[in-house]
Structure 1
């Protein structure tokens, strides 16, 4: 089985707990399930920074700069489904609470918290709107949801 990991959100050194979660999950999947073929979909910043992705997964660069949240969403919604199809991915696991809303692949989404609802002042403007729209849609359209907090 080929599993695609949607890491478009990840700017190394800037994502805190979500970055730790992604790194540890990748290591654990590689160790516990060597039969899985992992593909990491990363943004330009993550690809340029290098790191350990190559040790555990085939790495595919998504042509966006994720520091720009509009680019992150564009990469996730437009590029990840197309690239997953091109790479022959059987399942896409999105690790940052949002996920591609279309595409033929089964989807798993990890939702880290609902802070955007509980403390809306922490996510204001376009980002707040995006979270209020995209997280519920991702949960609804996913085949499985993982809630870690």
Structure 2
């Protein structure tokens, strides 16, 4: 009698685990998870890769181009996720609430903290079957070639 009950409980727990939504099933979930993952980066390549995976294609492409240029200039190969510098992504305040306004494949997530000035807005885009954080990275300037170099 006890064995069928345990088996049923195990199946129920396994089924509940399978129904868990991915962290980026919603735009606010993607932003919340990115904030958490960025806190863990501090030079850890695995943490940087985990944060990189939550970024939009445009942001990942920008970081990949930066990594390629750095690699070409320095002679050292660097992964695109290594371009995520912890000091560049400092959390200005402790987030208390996340809310998203969705318009088609785009969303704007508002992050609210405790103080009246503790607000931030983060863009997201739905791509690759999930919400991705679309960090506003500055475009790269064209590569300058010295005269006489092909």
Task: Give the TM interval when normalised to the shorter protein.
Answer: under 0.3
> TM-score, with normalisation over the residues of structure 2?
0.26
Whose radius of gyration is greater, 1 or 2? 2
> TM-score, with normalisation over the residues of structure 1?
0.26
